[in-house]
């Protein structure tokens, strides 16, 4: 005796309902797994580096970027810390002489190498790290090798006369007091390859104007960097 057509239709409907519910559950699980993967995906790391001749305005740019809550590593501080451990006063001549000997003995990327563990530590809490004080192409090459191509170099420019007047006014222990000292320091830093680094920067900022002008120019760079 065959099944009542009504019962057959009911069984088919129940089967379809179960299948639809099963499909919905599978879709929901798949969506959950996809969302989980998106959450786990880490934001790519990025280094923003500042370069420029003494007195060009690197410190001012650093202050502007720090206000964006970007952690900073100053390469000069790494050298100064070593000098203090050896009880060497970090004045202008001592600082340049010590850094020069360090580079000639261990390679022109030695200061960059010493910064690598500090950068990795900063990356634990931030996807962007600022490096102040790039002085040679070997340092740029090392950072790119260590952290990939997400490396942005910003060069700050100002005329020698402007830079010298700024440094005299600033009057920090490592700043030059005479034009002779100023010229000596320029030559020393150019010998490390600073001139080549400045030319190859991703962004070049002319800092002959006021601090307000500098903030405006950096604002345009921030827009391009989505910072």
Which residue ranges make up each domain of the chain?
1-31, 46-225
**Is the pLDDT reported for residue 42 higher than 80?**
no
Q: How confident is the model at residue 124 (pLDDT cuts 50, 70, 90)?
A: very high
Q: Which range has the worst mean pLDDT, 43-47, 115-119, 213-217?
A: 43-47
Query: Under CATH, which architecture does the 46-225 domain have?
Result: 3-Layer(aba) Sandwich (3.40)
**Is the pLDDT reported for residue 184 higher than 60?**
yes
Q: What is the pLDDT of residues 83-123, one digit of tens each?
A: 999 999 988 889 889 999 999 999 999 999 999 999 999 99
**What is the Cα–Cα distance from 111 to 134, expressed in whole angstroms?**
9
**Residues in contact with 111: Cβ distance below 8 Å, sequence separation at least 6, in sequence order:** 75, 78, 79, 99, 102, 103, 135, 139
Q: What is the pLDDT of residues 137-177, one digit of tens each?
A: 999 999 999 988 789 999 999 999 999 999 988 887 778 88
Name the pTM for this structure.
0.77
**What is the Cα–Cα distance from 153 to 204, expressed in whole angstroms?**
9
pLDDT the model gives residue 38: 46
Contact call for residues 132 and 75 (beta carbons, < 8 A)? yes
Quickly tell me which residue has 């001749």 as its tokens: 53
pLDDT the model gives residue 119: 95
Residue among 191, 188, 165 nearest 176 (CA) = 165
Q: Where would I find the beta strands (DSSP E) of the chain?
A: 46-52, 72-74, 128-134, 151-157, 203-206
**What is the Cα–Cα distance from 216 to 206, expressed in whole angstroms?**
12
**Is the pLDDT reported for residue 14 higher than 70?**
no
């Amino acid at each position: 005796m065959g099944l009542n057509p009504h019962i057959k239709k009911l069984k088919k409907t129940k089967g379809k309902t179960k299948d639809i519910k099963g499909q919905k559950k599978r879709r929901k699980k798949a969506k959950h797994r996809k969302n989980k993967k998106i959450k786990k995906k880490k934001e790519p790391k990025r280094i923003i580096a500042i370069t420029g001749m003494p007195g060009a305005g690197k410190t001012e740019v650093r202050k502007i970027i720090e206000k964006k809550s970007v952690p900073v590593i100053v390469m000069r501080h790494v050298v100064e810390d070593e000098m203090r451990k050896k009880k060497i006063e970090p004045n202008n001549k001592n600082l340049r002489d010590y850094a020069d000997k360090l580079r000639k003995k261990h390679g022109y990327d030695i200061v960059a190498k010493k910064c690598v563990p500090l950068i990795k530590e900063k990356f634990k809490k931030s996807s962007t790290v600022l490096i102040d004080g790039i002085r040679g192409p070997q340092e740029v090459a090392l950072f790119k090798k260590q952290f990939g191509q997400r490396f942005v170099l910003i060069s700050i420019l100002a005329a020698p006369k402007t830079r010298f007047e700024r440094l005299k006014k600033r009057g920090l222990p490592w700043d030059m007091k005479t034009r002779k000292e100023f010229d000596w320091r320029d030559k020393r830093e150019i010998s490390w390859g600073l001139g080549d680094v400045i030319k190859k920067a991703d962004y070049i900022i002319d800092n002959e104007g006021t601090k307000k002008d500098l903030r405006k120019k950096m604002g345009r760079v921030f827009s391009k960097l989505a910072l």
